[in-house]
Chains A and B, each alone.
Chain A
Amino acid sequence: MNHAAPVIPIAPIAARAPIWDQLVRPEHVHGSLYTDPAIFQEELRKIWYRTWVYVGHESEVPKANDFVMKSIGPEPIIMTRDRENKINLLHNRCPHRGNRVCMSEKGSARSFTCPYHGWTFANDGQLKGYPFPSGYEGADRSELGLGRVARVASYKGFVFGSFADEGPTLLEHLGAAKDSIDLLCLNSPEGEVEITAGFLKHKVKSNWKFLVENETDGYHPSFVHASIFEVAQSGIGSLYSSDSTAVSRYMGNGHSENDLRPEFRKRDIPMSWFNTTAERLPAYVASMNTTYGIDKAREIMIDGTPHTMIFPNLFIAEIQLFVIQPLALNETVQHVTALQFKGAPDLNRRMRQQTMGSVGPAGFLLADDAEMYERTQLGVQASNPEWLFLGRGIHRERTDENGHLIGDATDETPSRGIWRHYRSMMEAA
């Protein structure tokens, strides 16, 4: 079967700067967007090193002087909490000869010392000193600190960084996706999420955009995950069928979601979103009732947590947090951990157990998603047809009460939105 993409001859990418409207169209994207090294370099510049990128969570550096190694795209970033409790995002590069100043994944340190020539930096990035200082008479020490990510901001503990000095604020960037973070935190009896269970790092030979699109692709679960739905009592399958009342949504600024609440509300059973019952989590339910009152708590526990992809790299998947990191054109890492709610030990234990079962290199779900990313990456190297078809559900796409585009549970409304946003970012100078 051949989807009738409009045939407009285009010159080889390498020969000229890409003309984005010829590569990204409303219902089609060109295969070279996943395979052209020049496009990947351009994405680093125009997306990863410009927009707000999720880096880490404040709970990963709970105490003054804690640090943890993170990244923005391929670049390693040290997230520190300095002695004033301020969060800093620092480049892991000595300003002297370019060596790495930190080789530990995490820990506690008031300062970082470069092993090459002994330059020492405070955990807010400032140069504290260098050996034999008479050799630097007249040098301006304030200019010789660690590189700092230009803008750092956090929302409800979620820390984002932007390499660009200017641009939209974090809240402007999050837009409607802010509501997803709010909804997530609401499921905690103390209103807070914690990231404390450690990360699995799952590498795939695939372009990062296949992952971003897949996170809110409601079309694939019935097929890719059929093996586990068949043998485990999973409630996930029916959420992504043609009978489902769940919707897919494009929220603007590249963010998308599968809003499963209509299905959960139809079921009207607290904790069914987690495929369990209130009786099995008495301590959690009691804490929720105390915090929110019985009626509101019931509402929250029916609605559950969001399934939202915050462009370009933060995926909140009900019980997990994924961070997408592009390393190269066809190499991407998914960092994944179980979400943990403050004050909910019984729920947290189940979230860890289920996360370990479903994600990471051997996960019941994610190993099969990874297989699809890798095979699509191999597939798009074939030259005919040149285009990928994203037209599913365009005839029934509609606008919700907030003005966001929605489609049925299995429609490609999210992907079309992501690509529209991508094009606008790539078209910018």
Chain B
Amino acid sequence: MQQEVNDRGLLEEVTQFIYREARLQDDHAYDEWEALWSDDGIYWIPANGEGTDPENEMSIVYDNRSRIALRIRQFHTGKRFSQTPRSRLRRIVSNIEILERDGDQIRATSNAMVFESSVRGDTVWASRNEYRLRRGEGGLLMALKKVVLVNNETALYSMAFLI
């Protein structure tokens, strides 16, 4: 049964979680970021629109939990050249809303603008992010993070950092 979602306390908790996730990504704090995921987490960046069926159509990223771990291990080798040197990143996250709450399951959304400075030059990325969060022992965990880039129907430069 869906509960009332205009709960200021919960919104504050979700907001703090999303801000923390943003900071860990900007700071390349890979292990702390990985610890935000639930065991069945899915990190999804669709291509070509809002997201057709990722099981049948290409996505920019469609990582299950073990592939998220592989991505992090690749960063840690120090030879992930598209992030060596690392992109310098700062992002603004805003428009945080809780769309649904069902027991311990929360569906939230935000907008994000990411400024990237890299060898290639400066790039601005804009997205609508959708989260499915779940309450774990130590706080909230991400079961899904879906990043819908505003320009994902166009050709995109490499984005090998965490978005």
Q: Which A positions have Cβ atoms within 8 angstroms of B?
A: 105, 196-205, 224, 226-228, 230-232, 333, 336-338, 349, 352-353, 355-357, 360-362, 364, 366-368, 370-372, 374-375, 378
Q: A198-B47, A367-B82 known; A360 and B60 CB under 8 Å? A: yes
Query: B82's contact among A333, A338, A368, by CB below 8 Å, is which?
Result: A368
CB <8 Å contact, B156 and A231: no
| Total residue contacts A-B, CB cutoff 8 A | 109
A119-B56 Cα distance, complex, nearest whole Å: 37
CB <8 Å contact, A356 and B156: no
Q: Which B positions have Cβ atoms within 8 angstroms of A?
A: 45, 47-48, 52, 55-63, 67, 70-71, 73-74, 76-82, 119-121, 153-160
Q: A197-B57, A362-B61 known; A370 and B82 CB under 8 Å? A: yes
Q: A199-B58, A352-B58, A360-B58 known; A231 and B158 CB under 8 Å? A: no
Residues of chain A with a CB closer than 8 A to B45's CB: 362
A224-B84 Cα distance, complex, nearest whole Å: 11
Query: A226's contact among B56, B77, B157, by CB below 8 Å, is which?
Result: B77
A349-B78 Cα distance, complex, nearest whole Å: 31
Among B55, B73, B78, B120, residue most surrounded by chain A Cβ atoms (within 10 Å): B120
Q: A198-B52, A355-B58, A356-B62 known; A203 and B157 CB under 8 Å? A: yes
Residues of chain B with a CB closer than 8 A to A197's CB: 56-58
CB <8 Å contact, B157 and A204: yes
A109-B55 Cα distance, complex, nearest whole Å: 28
A196-B55 Cα distance, complex, nearest whole Å: 12
A357-B45 Cα distance, complex, nearest whole Å: 12
Residues of chain B with a CB closer than 8 A to A226's CB: 77, 79
A-B contact pairs, 10 of them (CB 8 A): A227-B77, A227-B79, A227-B80, A349-B55, A355-B58, A356-B60, A361-B159, A367-B158, A368-B160, A375-B119
Among A200, A352, A356, residue most surrounded by chain B Cβ atoms (within 10 Å): A356
Q: Which residue of A lies closest to B157 (CB)?
A: A203
A230-B75 Cα distance, complex, nearest whole Å: 11
